Amino acid sequence: MIKKNTSHLKDIQKISHTEGFSSVVSSVYRFVVHIENLRSAQPNAIVQFSNGEMAIIWQANEKATTALLLSANSKVEVGMGAKLVADNFSVYASDKLLGRIVDPLLSPKDGKSIDKKGTPQPVFGSAPGFYERAIVDEQLGTGVVMVDTLFPIVKGQRIAIIGDNKSGKTTFLSQVAQYQSKEDTVLVYVLIAKHKNDINKLLERLKVAGVLEKTIIVVADIFDALPLSYLAPYVGCAIAESFWRAGKNTVVFYDDLTAHAKLYREMSLLLDVPPGREGYPGDMFWQHSSLLERAGKLKRNGASQTVLAVGTTPTGDLTGYLPTSLISMTDGQIVFDLSTMHRGVKPAVNVGVSVSRVGGRSQSKQFAELASRVRAELAKYRTASDFARFGTELSDVATKQIALGDKLYELFKQPPEYSYSLKEQYIMLEALMQSKEPEEVSISWLKSVIQDVTLQDIDEKDYIKIAKELIKSNPMVKTP
């Protein structure tokens, strides 16, 4: 229920006015506060109450201003004073944030002090205009063979990472972070409404991989206030934008937007916003599309901001409201599913429904041609495997197609702690494709020996030659 006026209202108002708090709280319900006499208030401005707590303005009109409390256990009461302390919610990002774990207000969550100095960046800023953007055509390596070959991600791309619960989405993000930490890239990882156990597991994984000190972690767990969790992805985006506009490449991980949509639905219902499809408010699509639009490549400095947005699909249903919305506002999707995982393929990427709509332009002509051959062989493998399930006697050609497909999927299997450069990926795949008897190729041997090949100053035109020499070094394999 809305908290009623107290008997000490007049005394509180008197104290508030003497301290400069000229506006008054007229009602409080959970995290929703209505404030009277807050003139010149605009959405996204910051309000401070006489007890020191903060809120962000959600809606303002002549009668009253609606604000959202940013504290989980707020002590704000009816009659308290309020005043504007900032016209716009901005964050101050600098290199000192690297390696830190913060909440959406940039308060430290790792037990260390924090310096909030830096260039102010609006949390709800606008995406770069068309004239500010350059064509995205440079590949963002992930170190994951299947993804870099079949669904390459481009620097500046928005790509959805969709799949069942516990299908490996967060593990894949950590692999991308591990690979990109070797580059001069700023990583911003946003955890939205996560359980503390899951947060600790991810932080430990990033720490062991040596990624944590090169990453800014923005955390809003399930016990934080709904408005604070709602703000988390926008704060993470603003932090990344600060580096991006300063000329540094950035990668932002939103884990995950399905949880964000659900908490925004709950928040909207408490704000009396009329529900739409599946109970989500009418501006649900805009909330996420405006966030994801803040990615791309800037023409003036050549820097890029890449976004990997996670979405959860219980039971693998891609036709639901949130999955279809996320797919429609991104430049491709990498789909994880449990059926692929149960076949022993990790990362559990569903090759049939995953796609990168702009990834092909980032691959060299030679790598794109190899990727095309791999896709064709995988298609033949699926067809031959379907026939084999019926116990049909297979031709020699079909038998070899199954053997090659099995070896390709074995090559695609990759533990989270391992990553391969684009050169290493190309040579391993080319060596397997060049082999006359793929069933005799030892994938574990291939992955081991590639680490000993010096590729630093090797030109791309020599990759095929190296691949042929590599496969010949295995005496069990016959080559043409």
Cis peptide before 475 (omega within 30 of 0): no
Rounded-to-integer distance, Cα 448 and Cα 443, Å: 8
Give whole-number Cα distances, 213 to 54, 144, 182, 216, 246, in Å.
30, 22, 12, 8, 20
Alpha helices in 435-478 (DSSP H): 443-449, 463-472
Neighbouring CB atoms inside 10 A of 446's CB total 22
DSSP 8-state code for residue 111: S
- Torsion angle (degrees, nearest 10) of CA 190, 196, 201, 205: 30
Q: At what angle do helices 226-244 and 284-292 cross, to 10 degrees?
A: 30
Active site residue 265: no
Residue 306: both structure tokens together = 């890449």
Neighbouring CB atoms inside 10 A of 462's CB total 12
Cβ 149 vs Cβ 354: under 8 Å = no
DSSP 8-state code for residue 349: B
Cβ 158 vs Cβ 253: under 8 Å = no
Catalytic residue among 133, 357, 361, 382: 357
Instruction: Mark residue 79 as left, alpha or beta (left: phi above 0; alpha: psi -120 to 50; beta: remaining).
Output: left
Sign of the CA dihedral 333, 169, 449, 155?
Answer: positive
Residue 311: both structure tokens together = 């979405």
Rounded-to-integer distance, Cα 370 and Cα 374, Å: 6
Residue 433: both structure tokens together = 């494709």
Q: What does the radius of gyration of the chain's CA atoms come to, in whole angstroms?
A: 26
Strand partners, 92: 120
* Chain centre distance of CA 252: 6
Rounded-to-integer distance, Cα 162 and Cα 160, Å: 6
Report the relative pairing of strands 139-140 and 153-154 from DSSP bridges.
antiparallel
In what helix (H) or strand (E) does residue 227 lie, and over which residues does it extend?
Answer: helix 226-244
Collapse the DSSP code of 16 into the 3-class scheme (helix H, G, I; strand E, B; otherwise coil) and give the result. helix
What's phi and psi for 344, nearest 5 deg? 90, 10
Residue 229: both structure tokens together = 């969790």
The catalytic residues are 357
